Structure 1
Amino acid sequence: MALLFGAAAQAATLQISPVTIEFSASENATGLTLRNPGDTPLYGQVRVFQWGQAHGEDVLTPTADVIASPPLIEIAPHGDQLVRLVRANTSSSAAATGAAQPAQAASGAVGIADGERSYRLLIDELPSPGTAGAEGVTIRLRYSVPVFVEAPAGRAAQPLLAWHLVHGAQGYALRADNAGTTRAQIAAVELLDASGHRWDVTRGLLGYALAGQGRQWSVPVPPDAKFGGELKVRATVNTRPVEETVKVEQGG
């Protein structure tokens, strides 16, 4: 799912299709279409970053594993632009990615070298040429599109999540550690205990726990919350409903 940063969603002018890019293990090239529905030309920059997770946060690192072309775009009003994505050095990318990903996720888990690889395609809308120095503020929009390269053939591609509710100085945070070989897209999350108490975390997309890594999110659970019996999480993971036990622990 593509994300927009830097302005309200209704200010967005760029249309992107598809909103998630997936390479098969044997596929070397694919593309996406950018459409400008506006009445003025749209200018932008296109870059690809390796996407990892460390200490519960997303980490983007420059990479040459996947090349975007063209890197600079100018889209005419009501026009389209095809952006081509090409995997470079595919014979060694799996091994290189295993070494290059952040060493540890929130749980200390190391990214799986022969699992799915993950990237982010960033598209920055740039001011029109000649507008630098004009009065007023030019809003710069950034779109972030997830890009995945599936695990090598023969690997069973499934997420394997362990859930933790961490109590720290700033309140509670929900952590999902993924020991599987493919990402977990997590949405529609709620916590519930054996006494019937419920805490809604989100009804939409929470985020991703990448293959062999983990992600942590602050959740609206009161700092003095008391849990009656076993705590569970209900969520939608890769479009499938799940219910799992949550381990409650004290953070640093």
Structure 2
Amino acid sequence: MRFARKAAGIVALGVGVLATDALATSLQISPVLIEMPAHANAVGMTLTNPGDEPVYGQVRVYRWDQSVLDDTLEPTQEIVASPPLVKVPPHGEQLIRLIRPVREPVSVERSFRVLIDEIPQPGTVASDSITIRLRYSVPVFVQPPALAGAPVLSWQLKRAGEGWLLCATNSGERHGQVGEVTVVTDRGEQALNQGLLGYVLPGHERHWKVPLADASIRGPLRLRAKINGQSEEATVQVLPSE
């Protein structure tokens, strides 16, 4: 299953607003990222409904993998959600437990996504009005006992048609959450994104299209970014056009 699906609104890290023919209130989710020790049987996450109507949802867990340009999700039983169907009362909460039925040894960090889909209230009659129901996506990382502290990221910038790709390779043992990326060229600083750009899983390479208009950039460049919430600087190699 592909990670980015357009049939429903997708909210990474559980933040967003549901759009219908009237403004509705979306769920609030805590925590928005889960790191689960390999020895743990289960962890919890809380859904909060600040609105005046109950919110119904379906909760599923998927194994999370990556190619250079996309995220992929596959069904899994390594982690199961309980309960899988929820009704969050108005101004109330619902605890979701993420359970590892079999605690197999984990030698490298394993990556999952919890998808929470808002679903219609049981007995709702279909209407002609357009309703967009949100999907929330929460990353879950099962971590081995001797996990090293930080990802090890190397960076490249290369031409892709008329634009540029920012390429990150993670040779470390831990995921890298990348955000607030700025590059410094001989013409000054340019912010490539605000907020979250994406993740680079351990042992993976990830490419992102970035808004660099200058076709004559020469390297190396300096890059500043938030990596797992911490400000870091790195060198970016600029590859020649193919």
State the TM-score, normalizing by the size of structure 2.
0.86
Question: 1:38-187 maps to which residues of 2 (within 5 A)?
Answer: 38-92=51-105, 94=106, 114-150=107-143, 152-187=144-179
Deviation for aligned residue 1:170? 4.7
Alignment partner, residue 235 of structure 2: 245
The whole-number CA distance in structure 2 between the counterparts of 1:209 and 1:5 is 23
Q: Percent identity?
A: 46
**Aligned residue among 29, 34, 41 for 2:47:** 34
Structure with the largest fraction of helix: 1
Alignment partner, residue 210 of structure 1: 201
Conserved in 2, the CA contact under 8 Å of 1:163 and 1:177?
yes
Deviation for aligned residue 1:229? 4.6
Deviation for aligned residue 1:251? 6.9
Note closer, same or farther for the CA distance 1:131–1:209 as it changes in structure 2 (3 Å cut).
same
Q: Alignment RMSD, CA only?
A: 2.2
The whole-number CA distance in structure 2 between the counterparts of 1:234 and 1:208 is 16
Q: Which segment drifts farther, 172-181 or 131-140? A: 131-140
The whole-number CA distance in structure 1 between the counterparts of 2:158 and 2:65 is 21
| Runs of 5+ unmatched residues, structure 2 | 1-11
State the TM-score, normalizing by the size of structure 1.
0.82
Instruction: Give the ranges of 4+ consecutive aligned residues of structure 1 lying more than 6 Å apart after TM superposition.
Output: none
Deviation for aligned residue 1:25? 2.4
| Runs of 5+ unmatched residues, structure 1 | 95-113
The whole-number CA distance in structure 2 between the counterparts of 1:52 and 1:202 is 23
The whole-number CA distance in structure 1 between the counterparts of 2:17 and 2:157 is 30
Deviation for aligned residue 1:228? 4.7
Note closer, same or farther for the CA distance 1:251–1:125 as it changes in structure 2 (3 Å cut).
farther
Alignment partner, residue 106 of structure 1: none
Note closer, same or farther for the CA distance 1:7–1:78 as it changes in structure 2 (3 Å cut).
closer
Deviation for aligned residue 1:27? 1.1
Q: Secondary structure at the match of 1:202?
A: coil
The whole-number CA distance in structure 1 between the counterparts of 2:121 and 2:177 is 36
The whole-number CA distance in structure 2 between the counterparts of 1:28 and 1:43 is 26
